[in-house]
Amino acid sequence: MAEELLTGNRTEMDAEDEREIESEAEKSCCCGSTGRKKDRTDEEKQQLIHRLNRIEGQIRGIRRMVEDDDYCVDILTQVSATSCAMNGFTKELLARHIKGCVTEDIRDGSEEKVDELVKLIQKLLK
């Protein structure tokens, strides 16, 4: 599993879980979205993109460290920091999804987003 995370490979189960989540998402849309898209405010986009830009910079830094033959522990420390940043991004996006899309669907009497959320959380906690 750790090797898959490092190399970016996905298992068949991960792909199957993702297809199932996507299938559930296609059945209903949230927050004024159409199809597989979500309408976000400019401020919301900016905040998310800012986090991603920082993560992208961290990854470029790790690449440079490898190219420069830096010490393994130093590289792994930066990898850990980048993983924490990705986890932070994931938590932020998940919170926004729950507060917006899921809450709205619950108010409308739909439980589809709740089912989708349960499957998503199970996938994230693997």
Write the CB contacts of 36 (distance below 8 Å, at least 6 apart in sequence).
22, 25, 26
Which is more confident, 25 or 125? 125
pLDDT digits (tens, 9 = 90+) for 55-111: 999 999 999 999 999 999 999 999 999 999 999 999 999 999 999 888 888 888 888
Flag whether 58 is in a domain: yes
| pLDDT value at residue 38 | 80
Give the pLDDT mean for 35-40.
Answer: 77
Domain that holds residue 59: 41-124
pLDDT of residue 28 exceeding 80, the answer is no
Flag whether 31 is in a domain: no
CATH number of 95's domain? 1.20.58.1000
Instruction: Place 23 in a pLDDT band, splitting at 50, 70 and 90.
Output: low
